[in-house]
Structure 1
Amino acid sequence: MNANKEINPAEKIIQAITVTAELTGTQLSANAAAVMAEDLLAYPLDKVLIAFERCRRELKGRLTLAAILERIDDGWQSAEEAFNTLVAGWENEHLSILTTHTAMHAAESASALFNAGDKYRAGLAFKTAYERIVSEKKAKGIQPDWYVSAGLDKEQLAQLVTEAAATGKITNDYALALLPAGEERMNIEAGNLLTDKQKEEGKARLGNLLNLIAQKCALS
């Protein structure tokens, strides 16, 4: 056997399943491990392997597919993060928020409680509904369905939409539909999608380059 032969993703996942099952005292048949590996191939390998590492550290019971999926960083917000994002929008009509259609759906069972002033029970109701729906979507390999809830502050909306498009959370077409004519819309149409952080980093690199040029000119 060639020691340098690269192990394919399925084999790496099977190895991770075997080791993690042993360390958690879980008995899995070969068929069960193969089915589990097939389901996990829908996700990026590096994130799956990190999820196994977390299972080995965190699990106190049997290894299950649900336990692995819960630990895969697949872009879905946690229930707490999703709820806090919605609350920020509910409490400030000027604020635009980036959430998901899934979170909006889960909020149907919580908004009445929140409007009645019971934020605690609203959070519990949201968590129950959100985690159930997200768990079902994760099991099917469905990615987050990002949605922009627009507030009254047009400048903040433009910044939010531009960053969401730059990070690939929303499509350019969706971003353009949310923006009026302006610099941000022109940047998206031209494919010039830089976040504020990237722009600042670019300015810093340019400043360093100009300083070096100035120093060389001074020495010549």
Structure 2
Amino acid sequence: MARRDPVEGLLPLAPSLGTPDGRRPLPRLSCAVDHLGALAIPAARRWVCDDRPWLARLGANVLADHLGPEVIPALVSELADQRAARAWCGPDTTARRLARFGPAATAAVPDLRWFWLRTPHSYERAAYLKALAAIGTRGLDQAHAESLWDCEEQARLLGITHAPDHPETLDRIAALRDDPMEEPEVRAAAEARLAPRTHHRD
């Protein structure tokens, strides 16, 4: 089901699709539920009240992905709890959920900045930076400029798009454009960023 078109008949079956010990869902159940999108909301409202943590979490994830601003306080609290627990796996998902609310999620900014600075998972930095930008956080010029040297492709792409027009950043973008070892998408983005200046000089 995780690989097929959405199957609404999955919803009444979901609570029975846990492992025999009742501690976790069967593999790929969450993917199959994700395919249903907002159709899963009524069932998810019931799941969040279930005594089984895995089912309650599945319901909470559906609601976080598809409800409106009423879920912001819960997401802000979740991110704060993840920071307090030094939970390094998962906050990037919370960040992406918060990003869709833009400035309404301002309360999450301190924790998003903290995770961007301290996460040991380099692949998550782009999610935190995207969320900060979507919320409209001030003072991101330095973060975007720093991202031009990031080891992660997505972070470099954010830097290319948003870093300010300073000589150092433009030189770095030119270096990314001309680096034969760089990823093609990064080189293309750097070329596009610098093209207007090149044409102007010509």
Question: TM-score scaled by structure 1?
Answer: 0.28
Kindly indicate which of the two structures has a greater share of residues assigned to helix. Answer: 2
Q: Which of the pair has more CA radius of gyration? A: 1
Q: Which has the higher contact order (CA 8 A, sep 6+)?
A: 1
